[in-house]
Structure 1
Amino acid sequence: MLKASVTWARGVLPCTLAVAATACVAAGDAGDDDVDAVEAAVVGDQCPAPNGGISWNDRYRFMYGVNYAWNQFGGDFGGITRWNVRGVSASQADHEAKLADMRAHGANVIRWWMFPEFRGEGVRFDGSETPLGLGGTTVADLQKALELAERQDVYLMLCLFSFDNFRPSHDTSGIHIPGLAPIVRSTSKLDRLITNVVRPLARAAEASPYRHRLVAWDVINEPEWAISGRNPYGDQSYTPMSELDAVSHAEMERFVSRTTDALKAESSALVTVGGAAVKWGKAWSRVDIDFYQFHIYDWVNEWWPYYLSPEELGVGDKPVVMGEFPIASLSGVPYQDLVESFYANGYAGAMGWDYGTATGAQLDQMRDFASRHACETDYSAGYGELVGSSGGTTTGGGTTSGGGTTTGGGTTSGGGTCTDTPPDSRYTCAQQAGWGKCSETWMRGFCDRSCGRCGG
């Protein structure tokens, strides 16, 4: 039996259609002992994602957004003094303007890379390339990023490492860049990376008053490109990039697992891995990540097409977020068709690649999908409804008796005042009505005038 208190604490509901406790129980995913916990988790959520999602801040949403993925590769967190690259805390106006633009175009979750190469001051090393700790402005940059996310009402998925880290140690333009492969292979160096870098980073995020804006850690971007040999869980063998110092699956799995465990021990955020493709869908199935994340481009779509559900692809045991797909969409597939397919077929989210190269028209496409699913893609919207034993409903601090409904302090029961209060501050009642949302259950008691439920 799934234990709701544990499962939801890590952000995954025990059934895909998290609309009501009875739906979960009917599906056989929760027993009688779990009904009260299911109701407590779901009943306050006015617009849970109907087909698949990730739960965060008591809201079950389709995790929708975009890859930032960086402003300065390897320099946003920690800076690169030699190249006059400043971190987030010293260039906040630029970052805030970009986060605001992403939000205005419908992005709710932003995937942002931290140390894709050790080219900056983000991580300090000794002469033997053993990690000593966080350096430069890393902590200040992390805390400023969370503050900016709060100000612009977005959520962050912070990606710690990338396959790029597995290039052999080298010098570039006066900077020495250590490789990650020797650290992954060495038990003692990996211990130092976990103790001196990963755990302090997670603690710094957890110490922020805006820690709720960090929805997930992504341990590493597309690690499969830095693995050689066979996959032990039935996937195809790995085909590493020739310029990388590839490690074995067992070595990479140990690195991913230990990093995951450390992040969970020090932080309340969820944890995932940015898998290169569902071609290696089982690669991280033995690691305690909270949800799968896969990337899809034309070469993937040829063999593992976008319209197949996670279950059909053999990865239905955890929620699946499409963490990268071309923001211009796959060849021959309109953007709206692509993301609507993900939304309808049980995926838990979708994040295009990438903001930095997107055209205005492509960003508008991103916004159009969010507008059609305004509440179901927004972790800040649609919460607060409490259902009591009398069957009455109260929202936004109102009171009720005998089954009546009051919202936002107004009254609609018994022929009282006709209100037009929207469910959140982001969209107007006219917009919600225009999008055909009046019949949704989470619109009960909201926008009564615009939805034609009363006069006045």
Structure 2
Amino acid sequence: MKIDYLGKYRNYLLTAFVLVCCLLIVSVSVSMASIVYENDGDPEPEGIVRSQVGSLPAVFDLVRNGHWIHGINWPWDNYGGDFGLNDWGYRGLANQGPSGWRREIKENDDAAKRLFWAKRINEDYCMGVDVKLSGPLSNAIVYFQVDEVADKPYEATIALTGQTVSVDLYLPNGIEGPSYAPSGAMLYFQDDDWTWAQSLWMNIEFPNQWITLSVNVNDLHSLYPEFDQSKIKAFGVKVGTNESVDSGFSFNGSFYVDNLSATAAHEVQFDFSSPDTRTEKEIKSIADKEVKALRWWLFADGRAGLEYDENGYVTGLNDEFINDFDEMVRLARSTKVYIVPVLFDFLMGAEGVVVDDVLTFGRADLINDPAKRKSLLDNAISPIFEKMVGANEILIIDLFNEPEWLLLDADLEIPEGKRPPEIKEGGVIALATMKTFFSEIIDLYKQKGLEEKQLITIGSASPQWVTLWEDLDIDIAQFHLWNGPGQIDDGLEFDFPSPISGIPTFVGEFSTLPDLYLHDTCEFLELARTNGYSGAFPWAYRAKDNASLPLLGEETQTCLLQFANDHPELVDLIHDVFDIDNDG
């Protein structure tokens, strides 16, 4: 008789196989991530309301009369520190939180609405995250990006090979969702190619207590073979709802993050002991060098901050941009530093490049087309001027950074090879049209009641061109002096007075990179003073370009402080008015 032994034991074998597989899965799961419920009775942290800081004293008359402005260039930060590089994103000031952390604001990952400083028991601090979770796959993401640190180059990474990363989370009652579709939490990482890797999704089962999530980053490679743990660009925490949860589920409240750390990477150590955002900490640092003003880009090339219709007309300001502007004013107050906002940059008129369906550059028509120009004036510049009313922190309004690069050859002879390569050969805007644009902005500025408050300037690219704008109603003249090898004013000694008489003049940009200057910062500042200028702003604190050093470089920081010590009567812009303590 033929006996089917395999058939006889097939069910037993199948059951054993399934059990082994389950054990393997559990084993992998345990190695992939772990979760510890502390259950130590620690109550929910309390958000700390930071004290409101009063406005800075008005110093417009001093500056209008030629008082020295001890300032520097601080470009791009309205865009998260990388204007021109983060082409499709918007990492502005207002989505920052303590210690350089940010909240994601895109699509279904935008449930984190605010980051704030919070207090645990025993004088311990953490980061709070206000969230609005709604329906399935609603996610709150908070993260830290390595290359946003001011002294890190763009695309900087850190190696987390073999390291365990852990984080403490306090998840309050209600965030866990229904038992049939629980919410979850995880750690995630992105490498230099933005390849995503995440720890296993941990169901939130026991709210109202601190839990610790941890994962060995090496283990992620088994699930994400393309992920490079030796080149981590960003990392963070994701808390979200289950894909099976009912569409009516919602949670409005806060969770808390603390003690995120890696076993051997000093860059990944966050105890949130300070409330300062990354930008706030950096401005306080440069303010210690007696810097009193920051030249700060606002709309730049128009890719972010402005809302457009399908025909390219401006319809208004993005809500995030308005929040960023308010945060900029708060930062000025808390750090006692004035702002020189630059409305637009010459790259606005560069050849358009579409990146991930977003137009970068390519908006010369906002100046050339009268109807589109009016939409820009009415729906963007007008409301931002209204927000400037009464804001003493806005010292000077810089209408445009280096507009000459956009002018037609017929109006301005630019030496061959000197026009930026992003600009169409021969230029894109007539001088008369550019002057009309500036005149319309100045008229609007007067209509909004800013004339006796904030001052007006235009950031000319060269001293040889600054007189193009002298017939406009500006309060303070400005030119940039790039006189190093290959620059527009190659070899030009800084030994001349202002080309424009009757109003003060300051140098809005000069290089701090040894390969691109004739004079170091100490020499340049003294030349500006002795030649009768009202300031000289070195380029640039966090431009992260090939024309500057990170944090301006040690030499320039030393020179800024030395000049302030040598000429306190010049640098002390507000004299004895500032004896208040603005801790923020």
- Common fold: TM-score over 0.5: yes
Displacement of 1:328 = 4.0
Tell me which of 68, 87, 92 is aligned to 1:87: 92
State the SS of the aligned residue for 2:459.
strand
Give TM-score, length-normalised by structure 1. 0.65
Displacement of 1:71 = 2.7
State the SS of the aligned residue for 1:273.
strand
Displacement of 1:317 = 2.9
Counterparts of 1:282 and 1:143, CA distance in 2 = 34
Are 1:109 and 2:115 matched, yes or no? no
Counterparts of 2:398 and 2:71, CA distance in 1 = 15
| Alignment coverage as a number of residue pairs | 323
Are 1:226 and 2:406 matched, yes or no? yes
Tell me which of 248, 251, 259 is aligned to 2:430: 248
State the SS of the aligned residue for 2:301.
coil
- Corresponding position of 2:369: 186
Greater helix share, structure number:
1
Counterparts of 1:378 and 1:321, CA distance in 2 = 17
Higher mean alpha-carbon deviation, 338-347 vs 169-178, is at 169-178
User: What is the letter of the counterpart of residue 94 of structure 2?
Assistant: S
- Corresponding position of 2:496: 308
Cα separation, partners in 2 of 1:75 and 1:176, compared to 1, 3 Å: farther
Cα separation, partners in 2 of 1:317 and 1:74, compared to 1, 3 Å: farther
Are 1:286 and 2:471 matched, yes or no? yes
Deviation by residue 1:313-345 (Cα, 9 ceiling, x = unmatched) = x32232111000113476342322211111121
- Corresponding position of 1:214: 394
Counterparts of 1:294 and 1:316, CA distance in 2 = 14
User: What is the letter of the counterpart of residue 116 of structure 1?
Assistant: A
Counterparts of 2:395 and 2:494, CA distance in 1 = 25
Q: Is the 8 A contact 1:292 1:318 kept in 2?
A: yes
Q: Is the 8 A contact 2:460 2:480 kept in 1?
A: yes
State the SS of the aligned residue for 1:220.
strand
Displaced runs of 4+ in structure 1, greater than 6 A? 74-77
Displacement of 1:236 = 5.1
Cα separation, partners in 2 of 1:178 and 1:304, compared to 1, 3 Å: closer
Q: Is the 8 A contact 1:225 1:240 kept in 2?
A: yes
Counterparts of 2:80 and 2:433, CA distance in 1 = 24
Higher mean alpha-carbon deviation, 67-76 vs 278-287, is at 67-76
User: What is the letter of the counterpart of residue 111 of structure 1?
Assistant: R
Q: Is the 8 A contact 1:106 1:368 kept in 2?
A: no
Counterparts of 2:59 and 2:294, CA distance in 1 = 19
Cα separation, partners in 2 of 1:237 and 1:332, compared to 1, 3 Å: closer
User: What is the letter of the counterpart of residue 64 of structure 1?
Assistant: H
Aligned-residue RMSD, C-alpha = 2.8
Cα separation, partners in 2 of 1:74 and 1:94, compared to 1, 3 Å: closer
Q: Is the 8 A contact 2:87 2:358 kept in 1?
A: no
Unpaired runs of 5+ in structure 2?
A: 1-57, 98-276, 543-549
Alignment of 1:394-409 (within 5 A): none
Q: Is the 8 A contact 1:64 1:108 kept in 2?
A: yes
- Corresponding position of 2:537: 351
User: What is the letter of the counterpart of residue 374 of structure 1?
Assistant: P
Q: Is the 8 A contact 1:70 1:112 kept in 2?
A: yes
State the SS of the aligned residue for 1:214.
coil
Displacement of 1:300 = 5.0
Q: Is the 8 A contact 1:236 1:279 kept in 2?
A: no
Cα separation, partners in 2 of 1:66 and 1:183, compared to 1, 3 Å: same
Q: Is the 8 A contact 2:343 2:397 kept in 1?
A: yes
Deviation by residue 1:42-89 (Cα, 9 ceiling, x = unmatched) = xxxxxxxxxxx545xxxx620111001123658799xx8953x43212
Displacement of 1:144 = 1.4
Give TM-score, length-normalised by structure 2. 0.51
User: What is the letter of the counterpart of residue 71 of structure 1?
Assistant: D
Displacement of 1:302 = 4.2
- Corresponding position of 2:505: 320
Unpaired runs of 5+ in structure 1?
A: 1-8, 14-52, 384-422, 427-456
State the SS of the aligned residue for 1:228.
coil
Cα separation, partners in 2 of 1:300 and 1:181, compared to 1, 3 Å: closer
Counterparts of 1:74 and 1:255, CA distance in 2 = 28
Displacement of 1:291 = 0.9
State the SS of the aligned residue for 2:378.
helix
Cα separation, partners in 2 of 1:323 and 1:61, compared to 1, 3 Å: same
Counterparts of 2:347 and 2:568, CA distance in 1 = 36
Greater strand share, structure number:
2
Deviation by residue 1:121-157 (Cα, 9 ceiling, x = unmatched) = x000111101111113112211111111111010000
- Corresponding position of 2:340: 157
Cα separation, partners in 2 of 1:220 and 1:163, compared to 1, 3 Å: same
Higher mean alpha-carbon deviation, 339-348 vs 368-377, is at 368-377
User: What is the letter of the counterpart of residue 423 of structure 2?
Assistant: L
Counterparts of 1:133 and 1:332, CA distance in 2 = 44
Are 1:367 and 2:549 matched, yes or no? no
User: What is the letter of the counterpart of residue 62 of structure 1?
Assistant: W
User: What is the letter of the counterpart of residue 99 of structure 1?
Assistant: I
